[in-house]
Structure 1
Amino acid sequence: MSAHRSLEGRVAVVTGAARGVGELLARKLSARGARIALVGLEPEALKEVCERLPTDSDHWHADVTDHEAMARVAQEVGQRFGKVDVVVANAGVAAGGPFADSDPEAWRRVVEVNLIGSAVTGRAFLPALTESRGYFLQIASLAAITPAPMMSAYCASKSGVEAFAHCLRAEVAHKGVKVGVGYLSWTDTDMVRGADRDDVMRELRQRLPWPANRTYPLGPAVDRIVAGIERRSAHVYAQRWLRGTQGVRGWLPGIIAIGGLRDMKRFEPRLAGVSKGLVGAGGAADERERTPGTRRG
């Protein structure tokens, strides 16, 4: 296990910082003395979060999939704070429903934000992390460990970011840069609550085996992520039981396939009513950003 490092005076970049995991993570890192650079699509919300932080912090409005925008953010963060010690690639969106009937644009956007956006973030900030011998934490998910029906885009993107982080770790370790992967199960955020508004998606999740069928409180999950950042851990588990899934992940696709055969037959008459767009307030913000004339802030 990596040695504990104080966050006092360090500079941490958090993407997707306007709400949910990113917002609370920014607050908890700041409470430990870190200076925070918040990045996201909701400038008004980012400003509000920033103003409540107890340490010197700032915010940037940017789409993590935009190479030029993120390169600009990285440059400005460096100029503003003089260094970057920690980057948390947290920005993400989700969409549910059967793949065959999914909205191609929403499906693509999930992969773009979650996977491409993480890679763009890493590319933009890697020079600064190399200089500081810093830490890059990629937020993944239980969806990276086990597949799930009705979540093809999200599972594909989170499996992708897990692989990306593992590859990056091997490439930059000799430069003193540490890379971690953060795993969360269903956690009480706008994204999960948004998905639960759909009856089919909520019932499918409730039929998962324990403990994967629970929604977990946000606070303890983020506390474990902060502890992982302090240790510069290779793997960070927001719920302790997730560590145990690593040893059985090879069996999980087959188990899920058996359950999926039963559940998809059960729910097939209701599948046409499943929402096809991005879920939650974060998804709505992403759609506003990409719709001419509707951007706020």
Structure 2
Amino acid sequence: MSENTGNQGRVAVITGASSGIGAATARALAADGYRVALLARRADRIDALAAEIGGGAIAIPADVTDRDALVAAAARVREELGGADVLVNNAGVMLLGPFSSDRRDDYRAMVEVNLLGAITTTEVFLDQLKDGGGDLINISSVAGRTARASNGVYAATKWGVNGWSESLRQELLPDVRVTLIEPGVVDTDLPSHITDEATRAAVQKGYDVATVQPEEIAEVVAFVLARPRHLAINEILLRPADQLG
């Protein structure tokens, strides 16, 4: 993607930036002229990515379930980069498996990261996004539209993100554009985090058959942000062409 000098000086904050869609989005937006702030728990990965990207990129170790860490991150973004113009809520976990009491820690983790993490990060950065008109990109999932056996709590978090995003879209007009992106199967390391072995093996089989690349999702994010301010792309659902559901 060629560099878009019209974005010089604009700042994008990306959560879950250490791998997958987050890392690909950071590279794509940096190529389009954004200065990027990389937020993730894995400091070594975002340090390496910031060094690779250059151009004023900064790495900020932060867990989206820790509001104090997010407040500190927002202060760094304000001080070092001048404030956020774009927030990409990408951090997420996909801990699928049969519903049972044995997996209650997984359920709590998904709610705290996928839903509350996005809500808290947005709350902390919202004042910066409102300064001069910003963009909020929420990375959801096709699971925010279709629930299946063994993905109930994951789907609940994504349905929650979808509903919250539509409410914010209406509430924040015209100061902040809100876009919801719902990918299908993307080639990331999410399946490796699944704690239920049978579910992990079954999900991996699906990933082996049909995936899109994180860079393709990143291109969609960059396209949305490149639209003129009078045009808001509010929702995008995308899947591998051969993904059935």
Contact 1:70–1:121 (8 Å) recurs in 2: yes
State yes or no: 1:27 paired with 2:27: yes
Q: Which structure's residues are more often helix, by fraction? A: 1
Q: How many residues align?
A: 236
Tell me the CA shift for residue 146 of structure 1: 0.5
Residue 217 of structure 2: which of 217, 221, 226 is its match? 221
Residue aligned with 1:132, SS: coil
Contact 2:17–2:40 (8 Å) recurs in 1: yes
Give 1:199-214 correspondences, 5 Å limit: 199-203=198-202, 214=210
- Where structure 1 has 5 or more consecutive residues not aligned to the other structure, the ranges are 208-212, 246-251, 253-297
Give 1:104-119 correspondences, 5 Å limit: 104-119=104-119
Output one character per residue of 1:105-135: Cα deviation in whole Å (capped at 9) or x when no partner: 1111111000000000110010001112100
Q: Distance in 1 between matches of 2:88 and 2:179?
A: 9
Over the aligned positions, Cα root-mean-square deviation in angstroms equals 2.7
Tell me the CA shift for residue 201 of structure 1: 4.7
Q: Distance in 2 between matches of 1:24 and 1:16?
A: 11
- CA separation of 1:179 and 1:5: change in aligned 2, threshold 3 A: farther
Q: Distance in 1 between matches of 2:197 and 2:222?
A: 32
Query: What does residue 37 of structure 2 align with?
Result: 37
Give 1:258-269 correspondences, 5 Å limit: none
Tell me the CA shift for residue 42 of structure 1: 0.6
Residue aligned with 1:37, SS: strand
Tell me the CA shift for residue 236 of structure 1: 3.0
Residue aligned with 2:59, SS: strand
Letter in 2 for 1:223: E
Query: What does residue 98 of structure 1 align with?
Result: 98
Q: Distance in 1 between matches of 2:51 and 2:223?
A: 24
Residue aligned with 2:159, SS: helix
Contact 1:18–1:46 (8 Å) recurs in 2: yes
TM-score scaled by structure 2? 0.87
- CA separation of 1:222 and 1:233: change in aligned 2, threshold 3 A: same
Tell me the CA shift for residue 204 of structure 1: 6.4
Q: Distance in 1 between matches of 2:100 and 2:212?
A: 30
Q: Distance in 1 between matches of 2:159 and 2:133?
A: 26
Contact 2:210–2:240 (8 Å) recurs in 1: no
Q: Distance in 2 between matches of 1:57 and 1:136?
A: 19
Structure 1 or 2, whichever has the larger Rg, is: 1
Residue aligned with 2:173, SS: helix
Q: Distance in 1 between matches of 2:225 and 2:184?
A: 18
Letter in 2 for 1:185: G
Query: What does residue 122 of structure 2 align with?
Result: 122
Tell me the CA shift for residue 100 of structure 1: 2.1
Letter in 1 for 2:92: G
Letter in 2 for 1:131: D
Residue aligned with 1:180, SS: strand
Report the identity percentage: 29
Residue aligned with 1:99, SS: coil
- CA separation of 1:77 and 1:148: change in aligned 2, threshold 3 A: same
Contact 2:63–2:69 (8 Å) recurs in 1: yes
TM-score scaled by structure 1? 0.72
- CA separation of 1:220 and 1:11: change in aligned 2, threshold 3 A: same
Give 1:10-159 correspondences, 5 Å limit: 10-159=10-159
Residue aligned with 2:131, SS: helix
